Structure formats: C-alpha cells, structure tokens
Structure 1
Amino acid sequence: MPRLTLGVNSRLSKDYKFTNMYAPKFTITNSILKNVGLVEAAREVIINAPIVPSYEKKFREEAIARQVHYGTHLEGNDLLYPEAIKVVAEMSARNITSANQVIGVVGQEKDIQEVVNYRRVMDYISQLYSQNNSEFIYTEAILNQIHLVSVDKLVSPEHAGRYRVEQVTVRNTQTGEIFFRPPPAVEVPFLVKDVIDWLNSAPNRELHPVLRAGIIHYDLAAIHPYVEANGRTARAFATLVLLVEGYDIKRLFALEEYFDRQAAEYYGAIASVSNQSSDLLERDLTPWLDFFTKALAVELSRVKEKVRTLSVDSRLVRHLGGRQIELSERQLKLMEYIQSQREITMATAKNILSMVSEDTILRDLKDLANKGVISKHGVTKAAKYVLSAS
C-alpha cells in the first residue's frame, strides 16, 4: 500500500489506507507532488479568472474539439484537425449520430464516425457530471454506455458495451509494436468490478481526484475490457472522475492533446507498468501516475497562461465591480491588444481588423467605452483608447 507522507493538501499529506481487496500500489514522489501542485495552482487561477462569457464559451468549444480530435487521433484516426473541427461544429448546430449525416468533411467514413461518437461521449459524461453530488456512484453501466457510444456503428452489436470474450493484445497504433497482453477475458468482469468498487469506496474517495482519475485510467487501459476503443473509454471515464470530483476547471482543458503529442511516452508509461507483472495487484503505478500528473500539469499550465491573456484586467474588474461583459469577436481582438499594450490607436486597430471599415471599428470602440471598459484620450485621429481603470 502506498504511504503518502508529502502533500499539497490533506488528500496528499496523510497516511492513506485502502479498504478494498483491490489496492493500487504507488508512491507519491517529489515529481508527482510537484505536478499536483502545478495542477492546483493552475486550477485556482483558471477558476477565479474573470473571463468574459464570450471568451469562455469559445475557449470551451475549442477544448472539446481538441478532446475529440486528439482522443481519436491517438488511436489511429486519420481525420485532419480542421476536418474534425468541422464535424464538431456541425454537431453543435444539429443532431448528428452518423457519419452519413455530416456534410462537407473530407475523410474516411470510419474516421468521421469515430469523431461523431467521441463527441457524443463528451456530451454523455457532461450530462452525468451536471448531476454531480457527493454521493455520485460510478457504475459498470456508465462504463459500458461510454463504450457503446464510442463504437456505435463501428463494431457489431455483440461487442458494443459488452466485455470481450477473447484474448487481445495492445499495440501502439503508430508503430504497431505490441506493448502488453491484457488479462484473460474470463477475469475481466471481476477486475472491472474490483476497480469500480475501489473508486466508490468512501475512504478511497479521500485520495486526491487527480490521482484517482489517473489510477482508473490506467486500470481500465490495462484490463482492456473490450475488443476495441479501450483507450477512448478509459480516457473518457477518467475525465468523468475529474469532472465529478471538482476538477472540471470550466471544461477548458484537453488532456488528449498532450497524450497524442507525446504518444510514445503515453504508451510507454502504460507498458512500463503493465509489463511489471501479470497480476494487476502487484504492479507499481508510480511511473504512470508521474506521466499522468505531468500531462495534466502541462495542459492546465498552458490553459492558465491563455486564460490570463483573455481575462479582463484585475483593475478593470474592480472598477466594474466584478461585472462581466459580452464582447464581439472584433472587440475580443481589440481587448487582447489593449490588455497587452495598455492602449490602442485607430491606426493600430485598423491593422488588427484589416478587413473591417473604420466606421465599424469606431462603433466597436465606442461600444466598449459606453460599457465602461475603455476610455478615449484625445480628439484627433491620434487619440488613444486605454483601459478605463488605468
């Protein structure tokens, strides 16, 4: 059993005792501790950042698109990112469940269907997470539903949302290399039940959510309950754990992008643990948790910096009494520049919005001034617009 003696908060700084038959083995290393600390720091900034609604909505849509694209690309989907974005955008506009319903996207039908399915998976876990409460119960039915949606129209019905009945091997989809052999099919139902029971056990809920998400991600990937889409299912279920347990972080992050960009390291971390022993209970998950926490720390740190550039200046927030405002796409671009340079002239604004008339830019600036966001200094064409809280 792991002995957790260092920590960022109470869930990392106590001697943690598992009460289930299943007890994942791992050690809280300085590296893991540092990663979780970075996650907490980024989470605090992102949650409290006074992002205007239009920024936040756009950023969240981008994060979902990245989740969907990189989450499927990691498993060999060849659909290009711009095409995946088109699929996600079209699904936001109308109800789509089949690749045949998607218009104007260049790609193989199977690849398009995988993107459609994974977007629907994100919708499903969002619905579950919206019902979030301290008594949320993780179930095999939820796991099976995630898988069923992931493989809709891709596998035969007897394999959709149902545990495998044959032996499989796990390969790196990019190299074809066999990484490890999952447990025999006969053990799958018992192993899945054990890890779900562990996740639901009250004492085990005291463990930090980031570690819980990392552990369930590894367990499901290692058990490999299904004939296909185990990676997508494991990542979606781990995301559900983060969302339910207070780490939704405005839904602005996409772990899948880091996993895909570091595919060799991702598969290598899983394999390094899986090849330790044929017995899941004997494996030390530390290398995997080191990678998983690093991935989340890197992704959230990136989001944190992006949020800082999109957030209304703190002095402006105080001036507006914490009020958030709705800005147009053009005004977003103007405000990004004003926030970074503290002021803007009409000449600069025209360069930024080169496809827009001067009259339109003037209306946008006047609207920002009327909303109390900026103020105008000067009356000639050389007039400057500055943050009104300056």
Structure 2
Amino acid sequence: MFKPNFRYTHTIVRVLAKISAGREVILNSPLIPKWEIALRREAIIHSAHSSTSIEGNRLSLEQVTKLAQGRKITATRKDKQEVLNYLKVLENIAKLIKRSSIHEKDILKMHRMVTKDTLDNPDDCGVFRKRYVVVGNRLTGEIHFRPPRNEKVPGLVRDLVDWINSEEAKELDPVIEAGIVHYEFVRIHPFVDGNGRTARVLAAWILYKRGFDTKQFFCLDDYYDSDRPAYYKTLQSVNQSTVDLTKWLEYFIEGVNVSVAAVKERVIRLSSERLRKAKKGQIALTERQMRIVEFINQNGRITNRDMQKMFKISDEGALKEVKKLVKLGVLKSQGKGRSLHYVLQ
C-alpha cells in the first residue's frame, strides 16, 4: 500500500494553525446567501482560469468569466472546451462521488470530464495511459521527470485510492491529505494528458469531502499560476529515491494559506459592522451592489462615474444601483453636484 513520507516541520505546524484560524473567521462571519453564492462563483471561475492556464490555455480571466456566464467569446475550440469542462467539474464537485469512499472508476470519471473533446486521440479520454511518457519542455527537449512505466499505473492508482479511503488518511489534516494526493497523482502521471488538472480537481474534492471547503470559497490554483516555475520546480524537487514530501507540503500548505487569507480579508469587509443592517433582514443584494460595497471598502468612497466605468452603464443606471443601498442604510451620500459621492453608513 502507498505510504507517504513527510515530517511535521515548524513551518507546516505554524501555517496549518494560521489556516485553521482564518477558516474559523470565514465560517463564523455573517454573510448573506447572495454573497456566499458570489464568492463561490468567483472562486470556481478563478480556479478554471488558473488551472487550465498552467497547462497552456490562452483564455484570459475576462474570457473565462464570459464563458461561465454563457456568453460567446472568440477563441479556439479547444481552449474554450478545456475551460467549460473544468467549470462543469467544479460546479458539480458535490455530485462527483456520492459514496463515502473513492474508487479507480471515479478517477477515470474525473479525467473524462476534465478532458472531454480536448485530446488529440479521443480514446485516451478517461483511460489510463497505455504507453510510456516523459514530462518535459516540448521546445527544448529537456526532460523534467520520468513517470512510472504504463504497466504499473493501474496498481499505483489502486494503492493511492486505497490510502485515500484508509483511516490513516482520514486522521490527517485535510490540507495535508490533499497535498499528498496532489503530488502522488502527478508522480504516477496515469494519463496521456490532463494529469495536472485532474490532480487539482482531486485535491479540491478531498478538501470538499473532508469538510474543509464545503462552500468552495478557496482557489488554490491562483497560487500555482501566479508563479508556475515555482510550482513545477517544487513538484520536481522531490527526491525520487526517498519521496520525502516535506518541502512540497510546505509549498502546498502555503498556497492554501494564501487563498484562505484572501477570502478571510474579503469576508471581513463584507460582514463588517456597517453592513449588519442589510444582513439582519437577509436582503439579497445583487452582485453589482456587492462590488460597490467592496469598492468603497477599498477606496473609501464611490462616485457615479466610478460605477459607470466599472459596469459600463449610464448615469441613470448607476444611480439606480446605489438607491437600494442608501435606502437600506448601508450607504449614505455626501456632497452635491459634481462632488456627489457615496460612503458606507
């Protein structure tokens, strides 16, 4: 059976404590349902953009957002399909595996969903690779990593799945478990293509299933995409003789910490004392109105012109957006004429 090798360093223990504290703040903050939906939606869109971008997808965050909204964009069919696939997987993560345990067929299902209509050979979709592959730079020919031979793949995946279902795995912090599974899946490299995306989906599923990210607020993929060389370098730095995952886990856990800290900061702003009035009545603010509140939190004030630029709307449209917030007592107006602006109540 697969048995991970790592040490609990001071860094790992310290960062896990920070993650736990940040997560508690998020879970105990008074957010109205509308804002929770918006935070989840934004995290899914960012994850879809970053996870596909890491592997060469050329769509911008703006284009991914439009796709998520069902709008048309100009891009290659493959780039669009990769993003649509990833969005669908994350949006349905709660339904991916309904059992308490995971099986090899679930891994194949994840890969099939991630790579649908995107592979050069459709027969490779949702099927373990039947040939030897190497991981490297296609342009320079440099080999970064040599995965196990293809005949070993089914057994290695079975060992990993057995470990995920074991009591040993369940006794670990969910973040540690997700980091271990992420690395081991990439090391096995069970598919011809789409291994990284499938590994990241599997890690996200573990965080969801273990109760760490049930609201899907966190986006780890932004951290990897912000410094791709560091992501690949840390993956490749694991000694293949000892497979000591300590340094990789320090990197992975810091990524979770960065994501949790970003969400915590945003949640604190949204659920500040000045917004309690709206929360008490469970008023369903629109996503635009939520962005207005966030803009003021960041800049201290907002004008009609700011809103026109932000949403590409008319002066009348901007006024309509803030009227409800003023009526609720969330915002108040200051100044007159050209100096008119809005601040939090």
Instruction: Output the TM-score relative to the length of structure 1.
Output: 0.76
Displacement of 1:242 in angstroms is 0.3
- Deviation of the 1:270 alpha carbon: 1.2
Contact 2:185 2:199 in 1 (8 A): yes
- 2:228 maps to 263
The question of whether the paired residues in 2 share the 8 Å contact of 1:79 and 1:108 is answered with: no
2:26 to 46, 71, 80: 46
Match of 2:85 in 1: 117
Distance (whole Å) between structure 2 residues aligned to residue 256 and residue 77 of structure 1: 14
Match of 1:147 in 2: 111
How far is the alpha carbon of 1:142 from its aligned partner?
1.2
Once the 2 structures are TM-superposed, how far is the Cα of residue 24 of structure 1 from its aligned partner? 0.5
2:125 to 130, 138, 160: 160
In structure 2, what is the equivalent of residue 126 of structure 1?
A: 94
Kept in 2, the 8 Å contact 1:334–1:349? The answer is no
* Preserved CA contact (<8 Å) 2:33 2:284: yes
How far the C-alpha of 1:322 sits from its partner, in A, is 4.4
8 Å contact 1:47–1:249 — kept in the other structure?
A: no
Match of 1:79? 59
Decide whether the 8 Å contact of 1:147 with 1:161 is kept in 2: yes
Residues 30, 279 of structure 2: 8 Å contact kept: no
Q: 1:332 aligns with which of 290, 294, 308?
A: 290
Counterpart of 1:192 in structure 2 is: 157
Question: Of 168, 173, 182, which residue of structure 2 is paired with 1:208?
Answer: 173
Task: Tell me, yes or no, if the aligned pair for 2:303 and 2:340 is still in contact at 8 Å.
Answer: no
1-side partners of 2:9 and 2:176: how far apart? 12
Residues in 2 aligned to 1:192 and 1:293: alpha-carbon distance in whole angstroms: 23
Seq. identity, % = 37
Deviation at 1:386, TM superposition (A): 7.1
2:40 counterpart of 1:60: yes
Is the alpha carbon distance of 1:112 and 1:351 closer, same or farther for their aligned partners in structure 2, counting shifts above 3 Å? closer
Distance 2:263 2:217 in 1: 7
Quote the offset at 1:312 in angstroms.
Answer: 3.0
Distance in 1 (CA, whole Å) between partners of 2:25 and 2:159 is 36
Matched, 1:290 2:250: yes
Deviations 1:74-105 (A, max 9, x none): 11122233222222221xxxxxxxxxxxx742
Distance in 2, Cα, partners of 1:384 & 1:245: 46
Equivalence map 1:371-386=2 (5 Å): 371=328, 373=330
Mapped to 2, the partners of 1:241 and 1:330 lie a distance apart of 32
- Give me the CA root mean square deviation: 3.0
C-alpha displacement of 1:283: 1.1
Q: 1:356 to 1:291 in 2, by over 3 A?
A: same
Where does residue 138 of structure 1 map in the other structure? 102
- The normalised TM-score by structure 2 is 0.86
Task: Assess, with a 3 A threshold, how the Cα gap between structure 1 residues 174 and 297 changes in structure 2: closer, same or farther.
Answer: farther
Structure 1 residues 226-251: Cα deviation after superposition (integer angstroms, max 9, x where no partner): 11111111110010000111111521
- Could you tell me how far apart the structure 1 residues matched to 2:29 and 2:304 are? 29
Distance 2:141 2:67 in 1: 28
In the alignment, structure 2 segments of 5+ residues that lack a partner are none
Deviation for aligned residue 1:351: 4.4
Answer yes or no: is the 8 Å Cα contact 1:150–1:232 preserved in 2.
yes
Name the SS of the counterpart of 2:69 in structure 1.
Answer: helix
What CA distance in whole angstroms lies between the structure 1 residues aligned with 2:56 and 2:18?
A: 31
Give the aligned length.
339
1:108 equivalent among 68, 76, 86: 76
- Change in Cα spacing, 1:121 to 1:172, as seen in structure 2 (3 Å) is farther
| Partner deviation per Cα, 1:109-147 (whole Å, 9 max, x = no partner) | 222221122222223423237x5xxx7111111111010
Gaps of 5+ in 1: 1-20, 91-102
Q: What residue identity is the alignment partner of 2:162?
A: D
Matched, 1:314 2:294: no
- CA offsets 1:301-357 (integer angstroms, 9 cap, x no match): 122222222x1323653x678443222355435534665688x6xxx6434435554
2-structure distance, mates of 1:337, 1:187: 53
- Give the Cα–Cα distance (whole angstroms) in 2 for the partners of residues 194 and 234 of structure 1: 16
| Secondary structure of 1:179's aligned partner | strand
Instruction: Specify whether residues 376 and 271 from structure 1 end up closer, same or farther in structure 2 by C-alpha distance, changes over 3 A only.
Output: closer
Cα distance change of structure 1 residues 107 and 206 upon mapping to structure 2, 3 Å threshold: same
CA separation in 1, counterparts of 2:55 and 2:295?
39
CA gap of 1:233–1:173, structure 2 versus 1, over 3 A, is: farther
- The answer on whether the counterparts of 1:376 and 1:384 sit within 8 Å (CA) in structure 2 is yes
The 1:384/1:216 distance shift into structure 2, 3 A limit, reads: closer
Inter-partner Cα distance in structure 2 for 1:339 and 1:109: 39
Bigger Rg over Cα? 1
Deviates more, 1:148-157 or 1:283-292: 148-157
